[in-house]
Amino acid sequence: MISIDPVTLIVTSFAMVATASPFVYYSYKLKKLTSANLASFEEFSSSNNTFPTQHERWRNHYHLGLDSQHKKLIYHRFGSYPEQSMVDLKEVNKVSIQEKSRMVQVGKEKRHILEYLALQFHFKDSSHSPKTIEIYDGELFTDVAGERGIAEKWQKILEVQLKN
């Protein structure tokens, strides 16, 4: 049988709790933030009589939802500069991807660095200026985590909605 010194047991237990507590706290904080963001999104959707059937959330900062029955797109951006908007697809003529990047040259190697990515809605009424929905902002995030794929996917989904 192995005997464990009570002092060693207490110190080890304290070290384990101290190591695990930041992870538990972060997990709790993230769940709370996610549920608050989702509640805000659902409240805005229901206040506009829109019930999205397709959703996409990314980076705990953006949320898109499409109500294909009413042809409306709900967009939420959370964080320091929050935005809530709704786009009536019945009024939209075309959806395009707006992209801003810069080229950086290090020695002989050239790299394109994405600074901004958005979906842009062009309306049937030419007096209505285009509406832009941000997908990625290089000032907020240092890396791209599939946002180009998200933009292309939603552009295709929305183009199908515009044709119907």
Q: Are 158 and 68 in contact (CB under 8 A)?
A: no
How many folded domains does the chain comprise? 1
The pTM score is 0.79
Would 68 be classed as within a structural domain?
Answer: yes
Q: Which domain holds residue 154?
A: 6-163
Residue tagged 């991807």 (tokens): 97
Would 13 be classed as within a structural domain?
Answer: yes
Per-residue pLDDT of the chain (164 residues; tens, 9 = 90+): 677 788 888 888 889 989 999 999 989 888 888 888 888 888 989 898 899 999 999 988 899 999 989 899 999 998 888 889 999 999 999 999 999 988 888 888 888 888 999 999 999 988 889 999 999 998 888 888 889 999 999 999 999 988 87
Helix (H, G, I), strand (E, B) or coil at 72: strand
